[in-house]
Structures are given as C-alpha cells and as structure tokens.
Structure 1
Amino acid sequence: MKYGLFFIFILFFTLPAKGDIPIHYVPTEDPGDPRLAYIIEILKLSLSKSLPNERIVFTPLPASISYARSIHELKKNVYPNYFSPGGVNVEQLGTDNLQAVDFPLDHGLLSYRICFVSPNASKKIEKVTSIEELRQFTIGQGTNWPDIPILTANGFKVIEVPVYTSLFKMVVSNRVDMVCRGVNELRREAIQFKHYGNLIYDESFVLIYTMPYKLYFNNLNAELVKKIELGLSIAKQDGSLEKLFMTHFSEDLIFAKLNQRKRFILKTGYEDSFSENYKQYLYDPFK
C-alpha cells in the first residue's frame, strides 16, 4: 500500500521521490515584496487544505529573470511545479502549454488603480473630470506589466521601464506624470520609497479596469492546479481565505478611501470573460 501511494504521487505530480512537493518561482527585485509573499501564502493555504499530509517546499530560482524569459521557461517546464503570475501579458506571449489556476490572485484589487503623481502634474490631475482629460498625462509602467495593453488601447501614453523601482524615481523627478498602482500596493510603496524624495499620491480619483490576474503553471502540472483550486474552494467555505485576504489588505482598503474618489472606468474586453468560479472570489470595494 505504501509503495502504491508512492507511485500514485509520482503519477499525479511528476516530482522527485522524497516526499516533498517542490514549487519553483522567480524571485522579485525586492526580496520583501508583499505581492509575492501573498501569492505564496495563498498556495500554502490552499495546499494545506487539499494536501494536508504533504510538505510543500517553495524554492526561488537562482536569480531574477525577465518576464518574457520566465514564461518561456514555464512553457518548457524547466523547473518542477514552476509558476508565474500574469494576465493580459501572458496571453500576448502565448498560453500554449500553460494552465491557469481559476482564481484571481489579487481578488480583483489590481483593477482599482490609485496613482503616484509628479510634483509638476499633481495640481492639474486633481482637477481632472473625465478620462479624456486624464489621457493628457503620461503613465509609467514596468516592462511587460499586464495592464499596458489595456492602457494603450484606451489612448493613454505609457512609458515602460525595465526596473520596477525606477518608476518611483521617475515620478518624483517629473519624468512621468503618474505611476498608477493597485489599491493593494500604493500604501506600502508610499512608505517603502519615500526616501526617493517628494513622492506624492493623488487622492481625487480611482482608475478602474477589469483584467485577469492568475497563476500559471505548465500543463504537465494540471493535477497540482486541480489541488490548488480544490484547496481554495475549501478555504473560501471555511472562512480562512477571507481571513487571509483581510489580514493582508484591510489597511490598504481603508487607506485608499475609494468611496471618496471620482471613478474613471476603462473598457477592457474582459468584463464578461471570467468563469463563475473565478468571479466568486472577486472583491468589490464599493459594497
């Protein structure tokens, strides 16, 4: 019986035969990046529900690599149970050989954007009353970020930079007008990067655009994906998923004061594209 279970384990996960389940990921530029930390917490929670007797070992790749390369290696199944988060950007690079976990990694919070603004543009941006007026201002984005196609399709001028932390230096020095972040990101970044100088954030509007944000694995890891989805369902039912979400994001939601802001909504084409399972995990900050 022991050996039978062992071989079933190998069949399902194609993993080394030592009892541990390794999960590989690309490290971020900032080792303390809370976005990656939350993804790992989500995986730990879900797999603790669906595989309670297994030991999950999270292993970063030796070094950070470009997003395009990470997706290329994901398609080639270079590392066991290797994942990469993404959305529209993954679709543009191609999803062949890939399978996504049917779950919004951010619970939809990245669709609500609040912005750092340059000292030169801050007062003008406060007075904006329409999307047309907002298009006059440049937006800084990291290379291959998932919302770049959405912003450009809606007529915004996007300036891409390869190094994420450079964005905050650019907005402080008036090299871009806005750096818009998810409602779950700006508060911490305002503290983390305040040493760059006059890092101002706007409090007058929220830019809203629906977009997917999922966790992608290679198709060969389909059974692991199923276990993650099963664990997420269990965690939602027993309340542990909501508890984890509020632990990470309740302060961000209070800080953002979204109900006091003007709302500018962009069309993305993804509004009706999500499964019912995916939509049940989305959080509406206006309710």
Structure 2
Amino acid sequence: MRLSAVFLVVVQLLASVYAKAESGNVTLTRAFADDDYGFYQQKVLEAVLSATPEYGNTQISLHPHPMPQSRQVVSLLKGDADVMWSVTNAEREKLLTPIKLPLLKGLAGYRILVIADDAQHNFEPTLTTDELKTRTLVQGNDWPDLHVLKSNGFNAEGEEWSLWFTSMYIMVEKGMVDGFPRNVIEVSGDLARHADKPITIDKNHLLVYPNYEYFFVRPDDDALAKRIRVGLSRLIENGKLEAIFNHFQTHKLALTLADDPHRTRHTLQNHFLPYVLDYARWDLEKEKAIKALTSE
C-alpha cells in the first residue's frame, strides 16, 4: 500500500473515532432483533451512565445488527461497538476488558434442563452426575457453557442459535437431544415464548458451576471501563442496582429455582475461568463487590 493511501486510511479512522466521541453515544451490541432480550443489561448500563454525569452526557445506541457473541467480540475489537455483555471465560478476558461484576449474581452458572413433556423418566431424582453425562445435551455453539459441559465429560453438542433459541427448542421437542441446559434467569421467559411446544422444565436436577456475566469493553477504552466500574459501585451502594434486578419477575423466579432444596445439585468445574468470585451475590456482599470494582 502506498504511503499516501496509508495516511488516508489513518485520517479516516481518526475522523471516525472523533465523530463517535463527539456524538456522546455508547454503542451496545445485541444478540437478537427483539429488544426484550438484554433489556435488563441495557437498563443497568443506562443507570451506570446516569450515575456518572462527570464523565459526560452520554446516551446508549443499540447496534443496528443483532449478532452472535463471537461476532460481538469482533465488533468491539474493530471499534464498531463499545460495550457488550456475555458470560466470561479466560480467552474472552484476554481479548477484551471485563468489568468484573456478575450482572446476574452468578446465576448464569445455575442451569435447569429443558426437556420434552414426555421425557421426565430420563431424569429421575436418583440420577447421578455420571449417569447424567450420558444424556445428550445442546448449547449455543459459541457459548462458553458448551466448553464447560464438554470439559466436565457431558455429552453436549453445539448448535447455531436463532431468534429465541428456536433451533435448540425444536431439537428438544423432536427428541434430537434429551435436554437443553438453560440458565435459571432466562428459562421462564423462553418457555413463555415457546408455549406452543411440548417442552417443560425437568423437576429434579440443577447444574451449578462458576459462571459470570459481565459487561465488556475494548482493551484500549480505559475511560469507559472506569466509568462503568464507578457507576456500578455507586448503584450497589445506593441500592439502585438491586432495585433494577428485582424489577424483573424472571429474576425472582430464577432465585426460587436456584435455591430449590429438592433438586439434586451437580457441581461442575469451569476449567476456562481461573478464579471464583466471593462477591458474585453482590446484594449480600456489597462491601466486597464495591472494593473489587474500585480497586481494578
């Protein structure tokens, strides 16, 4: 490439960055065309920006194109977006800057099995973890959870995910797989959207592993990372983050499922996350959570 052409590319890139900064917008990626998915995370980010006015009057713009998580990562690295949210793993934390507050209180690692209506006999209460590993399961092909299941010896396969995970639920409905491990936060909303399908929640089992959902920003955007950390710490301290969390009925249902004493807990290791947080339940460990955010 000629020097003049290189100079022109650099000038155009700088102009694009300057225009983005002047616009006062933070672009948030999204997974689906339906804005209901990720609405909680969007509301949290809005509250973060409102709680940090000294950083400027900034608004959220949703990325115009829904995309899977792997493409969201690329979008941030290319500068096409500023913030994404997803469960974390070591590789993702190398590529991007994680804001280490579990937005879902660690409940992303509590997985309920969605099964066909007539398949409960495959998941009796006495089923051991080793026996459970013989059942066929499905996860999103670019979800860190797929690798967690496989590394723990589960018979799990990846699937391209479509709007509201229709492809996964069809696989369950048709008996192509025995179950779809879905986190306790999202499973009730999913079943409401797929009410026409003969599927249900297994009554007896719960998969549990360290799994945290964070905001992520580009590794070169220290200012935005700091702003989100400061904003989250303020929202924890003044109770607004808890209020936003409790506003969603699905979150209350999730805690009921996660704390159900009648379910057999199958504890898994997350080999792709080299740490366990002692403040994942930030509502119960406010001081630890705030200290962790402000010390990064």
Q: What is the TM-score normalised by the length of structure 1?
A: 0.81
Distance 1:283 1:146, change over 3 A: farther
After TM superposition, list the pairs within 5 Å mapping 1:1-287 onto structure 2: 16=20, 18=22, 21-34=24-37, 36-51=38-53, 54-79=56-81, 81-88=82-89, 91-92=90-91, 95-96=94-95, 98-119=96-117, 121-163=119-161, 164-195=165-196, 197-248=197-248, 249-254=251-256, 258-269=260-271, 273-274=275-276, 279=280, 281=282
Structure-2 change in CA distance of 1:33 and 1:126 (3 Å): farther
Q: Please give the root-mean-square deviation of Cα atoms over the aligned residues, in Å.
A: 2.7
Moved over 6 A (4+): none
The question of whether the paired residues in 2 share the 8 Å contact of 1:15 and 1:21 is answered with no
Q: Which runs of 5+ in 1 are unaligned?
A: 1-12
**Amino acid of the residue matched to residue 167 of structure 1?**
M
2:288 maps to none
Partner of 1:8: none
Q: Secondary structure at the match of 2:252?
A: helix
CA contact (8 A) 1:15 1:22 kept: no
Q: Any idea what the Cα deviations from partners look like across 1:131-180, whole Å, max 9, x if unmatched?
A: 10100101111121121111001101112111232111110111110111
1:26: how far off?
A: 2.7
Alpha-carbon separation, structure 2, partners of 1:165 and 1:30: 14
Does the Cα contact within 8 Å between 1:210 and 1:270 map onto a contact in 2? Answer: no
Verify the 8 A CA contact 2:41 2:85 in the aligned structure 1: no
Deviation at 1:247, TM superposition (A): 1.7
Percentage of identical aligned residues = 23
Shift of 1:282: 7.1
Question: Is the 1:115–1:186 Cα contact (8 Å) retained in structure 2?
Answer: no
Change (3 A) 1:283 1:185: farther
1:99-133 CA-to-partner distances (Å, cap 9, x unmatched) read 11121122101111111013453212124431101
Using the TM superposition, give the Cα deviation of residue 210 of structure 1 relative to its aligned residue in structure 2, in angstroms: 0.8
Q: Which amino acid aligns with 1:192?
A: R
> Contact 1:103–1:214 at 8 Å: present in 2 too?
yes
SS where residue 144 of structure 2 aligns?
coil
Give 1:87 shift.
1.1
**Size of the alignment, in residue pairs?**
264
**Alignment partners' CA distance in 2, 1:24 and 1:124:** 44
Aligned-pair CA distance for 1:27: 2.7
State the AA in 1 paired with 2:26: I
- Quote the offset at 1:232 in angstroms: 1.0
Aligned with 1:74: secondary structure?
Answer: helix
